[in-house]
């Protein structure tokens, strides 16, 4: 890939309008959301979307999320239904992605959906990300702004370390508050003929499944791990640091760095007070810091309820055997 000069843009009116102009021109721009930094391209421009895959070195069968400024904007691209309305009203803008059927005349590049007839849409809550989506007034395809298989970025510096020279610009607005990617809910089968299917939890993330179940008044169905259509691109080894990772460790062994949770001695602590939201916000940043030291990492057990489900999911992927 040819090197380019990656502009660092401040989250000011002029920085945001420059970012929107670059997206419109088919360039790649990394922008902050409340979950992680995204690597954005105009979702209607096939070549721009192709450049995302090239910059990340990402396997092309992994579909991307389209980011829009409002539920109203989402409805331009997908078939809406009652459950989508209920969840959007409760949680948008926020760390929730809804997978719905594409509408006719949607204009989204098939590279975004990897050829599926569904689209993941999300309305991020970050002020700078929102301002950018409003300035463009179009759908922005954006995976997390890290080279494929590496730890997700929660600061502009993480993005720069992974993608400098490969993208046009980074809109820098400090660290992300949530720190875990959005929760993804599959709603594509709602409203079709036949027995009413349950919404499906496709990926645990920054919004706890329990909160969604409370709004719906029912349990979410679990994704079928063996069905490539409901779980496309859920690569097991993902979010991986360079060093080996050992999970649910009571204590570090010699040479291991210790990533703690709760009170106790460790090299870095996800949350000394045992707060899961704090641990989520710290997860990727702490992994980046320990990884830079270049020793194996042991991780303390993290409870599995609430946001702990997504934290454990990301840790399992980071620890999985790699090629
Ligand atoms: O918080 C987030 O969601 C971040 C920020 C940047 O918004 N984005 C993100 O994107 O995590 P990415 O590309 O790393 O993860 C998108 C995942 C894919 O791996 C895929 O499993 C799922 O979303 N996905 C996207 N479209 C889908 C579809 N039509 N059907 C099923 N799953 C889909
Ligand atoms: Mg990612």
pLDDT at position 54 is 86
Of the candidate ranges 2-16, 28-42, 211-225, 244-258, the one whose mean pLDDT is the lowest: 211-225
Torsion of CA 50, 144, 128, 214, to 10 degrees: 120
Pocket-testing residue among 60, 110, 227, 232, ligand 1, by greatest number of atoms within 8 A of Cβ = 232
What atom in ligand 1 is closest to the CA of residue 113? 29
User: By the 8 A CB rule, do 76 and 103 touch?
Assistant: yes
Q: At what angle do helices 276-293 and 156-163 cross, to 10 degrees?
A: 40
For the chain, state the CA radius of gyration: 19
* Strand-pair partners of 30: 39, 170
Ligand 2 centroid vs 40 CA: distance in angstroms? 12
pLDDT at position 232 is 41
Tell me the mean pLDDT in the region 54-76.
Answer: 90
Pocket-testing residue among 58, 63, 150, 283, ligand 1, by greatest number of atoms within 8 A of Cβ = 63
- Ramachandran angles phi, psi of 251, nearest 5°: -155, 155
Pocket-testing residue among 64, 95, 151, 187, ligand 1, by greatest number of atoms within 8 A of Cβ = 64
DSSP conformational letter for 68: -
Residues with CB under 6 A from ligand 1: 33, 35-36, 38, 62-65, 97, 99, 113, 116, 118-120, 122, 142-144, 181-182, 184, 202, 232-234
| Sheet containing strand 297-299, strands side by side | 245-246, 297-299, 257-260, 268-269
Ligand 1 centroid vs 142 CA: distance in angstroms? 8
pLDDT at position 196 is 74
pLDDT at position 238 is 61
Element housing 58 (H / E):
none
Q: How many CA atoms lie within 13 A of 250 on its CB side?
A: 0
Residue 323 has pLDDT above 70, yes or no: no
pLDDT 10s digits, 165-215: 999 999 999 999 999 999 999 999 887 766 778 899 999 999 999 999 999
Residue 60 has pLDDT above 80, yes or no: no
pTM for the model? 0.89
For residues 187 and 210, give the distance between their C-alpha atoms in angstroms, rounded to a whole number: 17
Tell me the mean pLDDT in the region 260-267.
Answer: 97
Which residues have CB under 8 Å from 205's CB, separation 6+? 35, 95, 97, 180, 181, 182, 183, 184, 310
Ligand 2 centroid vs 196 CA: distance in angstroms? 31
pLDDT at position 1 is 62
For residues 240 and 151, give the distance between their C-alpha atoms in angstroms, rounded to a whole number: 6
Ligand 1, atom 8: closest residue by C-alpha: 143
Ligand 2 centroid vs 100 CA: distance in angstroms? 20
Ligand 2 centroid vs 261 CA: distance in angstroms? 24
Domains of the chain from N-terminus onward: 7-172 (3.90.870.10), 245-319 (3.40.50.11030)
- Taking CB atoms within 8 Å and a gap of at least 24, the contacts of 264-267 are 264/300, 266/300
């Amino acid at each position: 890939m040819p090197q380019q000069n990656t502009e660092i843009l401040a989250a000011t009116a002029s920085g945001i309008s420059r970012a929107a102009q670059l997206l419109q021109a088919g360039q790649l721009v990394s922008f902050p959301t409340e979950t992680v930094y995204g690597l954005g391209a105009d979702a209607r421009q096939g070549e721009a979307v192709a450049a995302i895959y090239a910059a990340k070195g990402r396997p092309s069968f992994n579909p991307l999320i389209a980011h829009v400024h409002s539920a109203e904007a989402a409805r331009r691209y997908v078939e809406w239904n009652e459950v989508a309305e209920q969840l959007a009203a409760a949680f948008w803008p926020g760390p929730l992605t809804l997978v719905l059927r594409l509408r006719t005349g949607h204009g989204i590049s098939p590279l975004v959906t990897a050829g599926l007839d569904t689209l993941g849409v999300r309305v991020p809550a970050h002020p700078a990300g929102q301002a950018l989506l409003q300035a463009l007034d179009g759908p922005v395809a954006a995976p997390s702004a890290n080279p494929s298989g590496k730890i997700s970025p929660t600061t502009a510096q993480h993005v720069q370390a992974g993608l400098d020279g490969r993208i046009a610009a980074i809109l820098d607005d400090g660290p992300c508050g949530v720190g875990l990617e959005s929760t993804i809910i599959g709603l594509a089968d709602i409203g079709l003929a036949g027995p009413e299917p349950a919404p499906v939890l496709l990926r645990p993330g920054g919004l706890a499944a329990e909160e969604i179940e409370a709004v719906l008044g029912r349990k979410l169905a679990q994704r079928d791990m063996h069905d490539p259509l409901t779980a496309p691109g859920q690569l097991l080894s993902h979010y991986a640091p360079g060093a080996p990772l050992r999970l649910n460790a009571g204590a570090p062994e010699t040479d291991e760095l210790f990533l703690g949770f709760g009170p106790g001695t460790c090299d870095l602590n996800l949350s000394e007070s045992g707060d899961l939201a704090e641990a989520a916000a710290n997860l990727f940043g702490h992994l980046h810091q320990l990884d830079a030291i270049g020793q194996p990492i042991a991780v303390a057990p993290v409870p599995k309820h609430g946001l702990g489900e997504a934290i454990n999911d990301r840790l399992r992927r980071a620890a999985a055997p790699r090629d």
